[in-house]
Amino acid sequence: MSTDCSGHVELPIRPTTHPPPWVGRDTVAAYAASICAESVTIRPQALRVPPAAAESAERSATVVNVVNEIAAEPLTVANRLRPVLLKLARELRREVHPLGVTGGQVSLLAQIRAHPGIGARELAALERVSPAAMSGHVHRLERAGLVARTTTPGDRRRQTLALTSEAESVLRAVRSRRTAWLAERLRGLPEEDLAAVDRALEPLLRLLEPEPEAEPEPSPEAGPDPAPNPEPPR
């Protein structure tokens, strides 16, 4: 039996066994359809792509490749990341205003808690401000009842900073408000975007790690290390 499939396909003639006379027409039609499904050959001209469409697809692929290469450049990523981080920090700072403190004061309180026994001079070095400016900041925190000075035993000239119970309450409220603000916005992201933000946390944390100090190069005039003295015979 031979079967002809119309359209843009060609069927090779395959030797088959003729069905018995008692097989119905529906069965023969189903059998013919199965032969078409297994034996069709698509004409080459049916796969031709119009030149305009091929050119457009090539241009699109080129643009995508160029964009991907540019996006991988550190300078390009930095230009996109910087305004996002600044805006995010600004929004988080606003969450502390109802508590009667500023974002800068919260940062100082967090540093004092993270470094027990720290002095005003060391705090100034951590925050990269002058000791005179830090003295004014600490004085305002003292007046607000958030920081207390303690004289170091054995060295009356050195005073350390400690948080008051009120300051601890303020830091807990700040953490709660900022976490709630972030969680509310993260809930509005699609699941795949939320996963992408989670994956980006570790690389962003590595940006804050201190750079390793470079080892000094040996002087060219020093020459090789002298050989050790041989052990004297016993």
User: Which residue type does 47 have?
Assistant: L
- Give the residue-averaged pLDDT of 47-51: 57
Q: H or E segment at 150? A: strand 147-152
Mean pLDDT, all residues of the chain: 77
φ/ψ (deg, to 5) at 138: -65, -40
Lookup result for tokens 């457009």: 56
The predicted pLDDT at position 156 comes to 72
pLDDT above 50 (res 8): no
pTM, 2 dp = 0.56
Q: Are 39 and 2 in contact (CB under 8 A)?
A: no
Q: What is the DSSP letter of 212?
A: P
pLDDT above 50 (res 102): yes
The predicted pLDDT at position 200 comes to 94
**What are the structure tokens assigned to 130, written together?**
């002058």
